[in-house]
Amino acid sequence: MSSFFSSVTELGGKVDFIQFWLILLMVFWFVACNAVMIYLMLRYRERSPDQKTSPIKGSHTLEFIWTVVPTIIVALIFLFGVGAWSEMRTMPTDEDRLEISVTGQKWSWSYKYPDGRVEASDMYVPQGKPVVLKMRSVDVLHSFFIPEFRVKEDVVPSIYTYLWFKADVPGSYQVFCTEYCGDNHSAMLGKVHVLSPEDWQKYMKNELFPVLTPVEEGEQLYVKRACVGCHSKDGSPAIGPTFQGLMGREEEMADGTMIVVDDNYLVESIKYPNRKLVKGYPAGQMPSYDGQLTDEQIENIIAFIKTLQ
Ligand code: HEC
Ligand SMILES: [Cu+2]
């Protein structure tokens, strides 16, 4: 039976166990109640107009049973439920836990590690170690959901929320945003990669992935950080201006001034989008990537933009 329940995390197995018995209980009582009801309807139907109902005096034994039995069942459901729930909501304090800061923004996830590394959309975690996520949003409500781990928590602007898991099976698991957060909500996806101890060592030493050129990394970030959701690279219109031919373009700002796009302007536009607004686009659409992307990552994105002439 163990593989029938989630086996990626121990807690997920408990959640599935409770869910399974709840459904079984509900099915049992639904069938039992309806069967008795149908039987009694037929058995005691009116057979002739002058038929009298027999007087019913009540039964203390029956009343006792139908009070005590459900109370025990409901109390058990509560005990199991509150046990799993409090385990889920109590963040582990183990010495070897890994704490990752998760940021949700329209429409991507990013992860900051204790050693300063930043990952976008894909999170890497060690197998068998507790991982605590400290989460916040820079814009609207999001919700971080890893279905296979059976954990989910809202991600809210201006406060931190927390989630934890300990994944025992290496592999890649889907992340969803489950709070409708605008146009590209359904594209706000990611993966949690659970690495074996050897792969985790390699990952920490930056040996797990091939070294990318700045342009290659920039293109990856363009997709992973969801710039692609608002900026096309082939000139087609989108929520924001196209990146095609952006470098060196002469543009009118919302306040009427003309600028020529150069490196400094691009850095500023990515870190503080509302300082210089392109004419025709509303403020507040583009999220700020200040602190979300490292300077090196911004440089690589710019290297990529330069190739789109
Ligand atoms: C939610 C939509 C959205 C996302 C996601 C987004 N942007 Fe933008 N971006 C806009 C809008 C709208 C503008 C135009 C208004 C302004 O200047 O802030 C803009 C403007 C810009 C500009 C200035 C363009 C110009 O023509 O002068 C740059 C550069 C830019 N974004 C880069 C990025 C990068 C890099 C990313 C990903 C890391 C990104 N944007 C993600 C919506 C978005
Ligand atoms: Cu979202």
The pLDDT value recorded for residue 1 is 40
Distance 201 CA to ligand 2 centre (A): 31
Least confident of 52-56, 179-183, 300-304: 52-56
pLDDT of residue 215 exceeding 70: yes
Say if residue 200 is preceded by a cis peptide, omega within 30 of 0: no
Same fold, 98-204 and 214-306: no
pLDDT of residue 127 exceeding 60: yes
CATH fold of 214-306, please? Answer: Cytochrome Bc1 Complex; Chain D, domain 2 (1.10.760)
Mean pLDDT calculated for residue range 190-207: 93
Distance 262 CA to ligand 1 centre (A): 15
Least confident of 60-64, 239-243, 291-295: 291-295
Name the residue with the closest Cα to ligand 1, atom 27. Answer: 278
pLDDT of residue 2 exceeding 50: no
pLDDT of residue 208 exceeding 90: no
| Superfamily classification of domain 98-204 | Cupredoxins -  blue copper proteins (2.60.40.420)
Per-residue pLDDT of 110-119, as tens digits, reads: 999 999 888 8
Rg (CA), the chain: 28
Residues with CB under 6 A from ligand 1: 106, 225-227, 229-231, 239-241, 246, 251, 261, 266, 269-270, 273, 277-278, 281, 285-286, 289, 301
Distance 302 CA to ligand 1 centre (A): 12
Distance 206 CA to ligand 2 centre (A): 29
Domain coordinates in residue numbering, the chain: 2-39+60-89, 98-204, 214-306
Mean pLDDT calculated for residue range 70-74: 94
Please state whether the predicted TM-score (pTM) of the whole model is above 0.85: no
Write phi, then psi, for 224 (nearest 5 degrees): -65, -35
Mean pLDDT calculated for residue range 195-219: 90
Q: Which residues surround ligand 2, an ion (CB under 5 A)?
A: 142, 177, 181, 188
Mean pLDDT calculated for residue range 255-282: 93
Name the residue with the closest Cα to ligand 1, atom 8. Answer: 286
The pLDDT value recorded for residue 3 is 60
Per-residue pLDDT of 92-110, as tens digits, reads: 999 999 999 999 998 899 9
Ligand nearest to C-alpha 177: 2
- Look up residue 85 and give its two tokens: 């729930």
Please state, in angstroms and rounded to a whole number, the distance separating the CA atoms of residues 96 and 27.
43
Mean pLDDT, rounded, of the chain: 92
Per the model's pLDDT, the better-predicted residue between 256 and 211 turns out to be: 256
The pLDDT value recorded for residue 57 is 86
pLDDT of residue 188 exceeding 80: yes
Say if CB 253 and CB 276 are below 8 A apart.
yes
The pLDDT value recorded for residue 22 is 94
The pLDDT value recorded for residue 234 is 93
pLDDT of residue 76 exceeding 70: yes
Distance 159 CA to ligand 2 centre (A): 16
